[in-house]
Amino acid sequence: MWDYTEKVKDHFLNPRNVGEIENPDGAGEVGSLACGDALRLTFKLDEKKRIKDVKFKTFGCASAIASSSALTEIIKGKTLDEAAKITNQDIANYLGGLPEEKMHCSVMGREALDAAIANYRGQKVTKEDFEVICNCFGVTDREIIKAVRENDLKTVEQVTYYTKAGGGCGQCHPKIEAIIEKVRKEMEKGAPPPKPEKKKLTNIQKIKLIEETLGREIIPALKADGGDLDLIDIEGNKVLVALRGKCSFCPSSEFTLKQYVESKLREFVSDDIEVEEVRP
Amino acid sequence: MKTVYVDNNATTKVAPDVLEVMLPYFSEYYGNPSSMHFFGGQVQKKVDEARAKVADFLGAEPSEIVFTSCGTESDNAAILGTLDSYTERRHLISTRVEHPAIGNVATYLGRKGYRVTELSVDREGRLDLDELRESLTDETALVSIMYANNETGVLFPIEEIGEIVKARGIPFHTDAIQAAGKIPLNMKKSKLDMLSVSGHKLHAPKGIGVLYIRKGTKFSPFMIGGHQEKGRRGGTENVPYIIGLGKACELAKKHLDEENTRVKALRDYLEAKLLEKIPNTLVNGDRVHRLPNTVSVSFEFVEGESILLLLSDLGICASSGSACTSGSLEPSHVLRAMGVPFTAAHGSIRFSLSIYNTKEEMDYIIEHLPPIIQRLRDISPFWKDYLKSQGKA
């Protein structure tokens, strides 16, 4: 049995602020049914731009529910700038600590908050270039880098506890190790991570590259989860796709599309790619 | 608080009669069965009696019974003790749904350069016997296939498998740890060469197991030491536990009928009521070829650990194949091998009954589980999405 604190038990048995706000000012969703936990966060601001009301819905274990509940209590009454400073460690501390294996629950809370704030500010969540490192749980390098920095992580096992990355087939362990090494070096120097450069493409090159990237990077990963994707059309920077298989009814398909497909295409093709889903 | 214990595939209550027969061997009769004097000799006699009871329970000869420390040791000994006797054969066949006591040994052997075939199962958790036939080679040292699955209760057709395997002259072992005491076992009529049993799954204490080894089977000891167990397992006999297991096997034989009538009826009642009262619930595994005491149910859109903790809060003890309960991040390898969709795999709960369970206890679960699932679904973002997609919200 997990060694949960009384506060975790309390927030699990009596979760605060459960629900969904109609017409929220900001909404964020992270995780998926496949991953075993997911959190949908919605908030409304008052006239002073403070978080007036916040609600959550969570699918997951006791610590996931407790972390979500704690998050809503922490950010209520805060401005978005104040809320944006909340770390996963703040959530864990609020609960009197979480078992280390369960720290990813607190990270999920923080990520949902990031997503909801970005949503309010009209920012694309996929502003930075990032790469999915762990295909089993769809964890990107950005999330791993952030967790390593904020929690001073040193081992692959710790990264798994905090982000889930590497908790499935284990194939990404060398990549995670490389990220840890790189980030820790940067932390010592205090330098921000460099961004990859991309060259200008002709239209034909771009279309070819999009097709190649879909075939090589994206479709195999979706198929591994029972999903699939068809390229319908390319209009300038807009890539129109249709999700097939499991993806077509997956509640996190929107997330998959933006967080995964779009970010991959941005990484390999061009920074200004936008992916849109064509519904059948 | 009332305790409703329905986690008997994890471990069982020690039967009061079992405990009673054990106690004198902790105090008065502490002799070593190997000693030449009367004080050890009287203990030897009781160990022999216990061995005869275990043999009777399995339909075996007493000389074919080897006492071990637990089911995991029996499984390890069966595999490693056979491979050690057939060093020229470098192939092992097992399944994707074995207990880690077999599965992780297979993985270990794979790392050591053995070829390991893990047979797949279908959506109902059943094997494809043609896949088995095609996997057998002259290189195959051992086939080890579990009798009954610990998570779903699904029974494999062990005797049919035995016909196939023994036709090729290949050693055949089964992990019968969940099956023993719940379905009849008779080694005299069986094709099996080896069979593992664990004491604490049939109302004996933790710390005692059995490996049945058919007379004439090639076997090298896993635990190397003294002459005990006819040189097949070194180490001074764990006398009180052996005596306890003898009694437990005697009782298990007597209760076999009750397991398959009253206990089975309780399980069926619980299963039917949960399916009736909770929408989007499914049973995992073949419902026909199944242990009488086990049911694995999945509640869609909720997560198993949350269910277990809310049940635990009411005194109900069950288990789950969800990721979060094991400390791993992926749901049970058994449910994944069966292809149970993620919507359901994370929300799986196993109830495993024993002769100590009552109808009142089933009613208690049936009363309290539906509101727990509803409560978690109300918190889950996917439930409302699902209802919307069905035009129900």
When pLDDT is averaged across residues A169-182 and rounded to a whole number, the result is: 89
Contacts of B382 in chain A (CB under 8 A): 33, 38, 59, 251
When pLDDT is averaged across residues B149-155 and rounded to a whole number, the result is: 97
**Closest Cβ opposite residue B306 in set A29, A62, A160:** A62
- Which of A215 and A8 is assigned the larger pLDDT? A8
When pLDDT is averaged across residues B342-353 and rounded to a whole number, the result is: 92
Model-level pTM greater than 0.95?
Answer: no
Q: How many CB atoms lie within 10 A of CB A181?
A: 11
With cut-offs at 50, 70 and 90, classify the pLDDT of residue B327.
low
**Nearest by Cα to A275 from A247, A229, A239:** A239
Give the residue on B whose Cα is nearest the Cα of A62: B306
pLDDT over 70 (residue A247): no
pLDDT in tens, A95-150: 999 998 899 999 999 999 999 999 999 876 554 567 889 887 888 888 899 899 88
Question: Can you tell me the distance from the alpha carbon of B267 to that of B283, in angstroms, rounded to the nearest whole number?
Answer: 12
Average pLDDT score over chain B? 96
pLDDT the model gives residue A127: 41
With cut-offs at 50, 70 and 90, classify the pLDDT of residue B325.
low
pLDDT in tens, B289-308: 999 999 999 999 999 999 99
With cut-offs at 50, 70 and 90, classify the pLDDT of residue B191.
very high
Average pLDDT score over chain A? 85
Residue A61 annotated to the active site: no
When pLDDT is averaged across residues B218-244 and rounded to a whole number, the result is: 96
CB A101 within 8 A of CB B327: yes
Beta strands in chain A (DSSP E): 26-32, 37-45, 51-59, 132-134, 139-140, 227-235, 238-245, 274-277
When pLDDT is averaged across residues A204-214 and rounded to a whole number, the result is: 82
- Reported ipTM: 0.88
Distance from CA of B310 to the nearest CA of A (A): 8
pLDDT in tens, B78-92: 999 999 999 999 999
Distance from CA of B267 to the nearest CA of A (A): 25
Question: Can you tell me the distance from the alpha carbon of A56 to that of A71, in angstroms, rounded to the nearest whole number?
Answer: 9
> Are residues B382 and A39, on separate chains, in Cβ contact within 8 Å?
no
pLDDT over 90 (residue B166): yes
DSSP B313-352: HTTEE-EE--HHHHTSSS--HHHHHHT--HHHHTTEEEEE
Q: Is the dihedral of CA B18, B23, B26, B32 positive or negative?
A: negative
With cut-offs at 50, 70 and 90, classify the pLDDT of residue B342.
confident
**Nearest by Cα to A139 from A151, A156, A154, A123:** A156
Q: How many interface pairs between A and B have CB atoms less than 8 angstroms apart? A: 79
pLDDT the model gives residue A171: 86
Interface check B302 vs A, CB under 8 A: yes
Identify the weakest region by mean pLDDT among A79-88, A151-160, B4-13, B327-336: B327-336
pLDDT the model gives residue A248: 63
Identify the weakest region by mean pLDDT among A180-184, B74-78, B127-131: A180-184
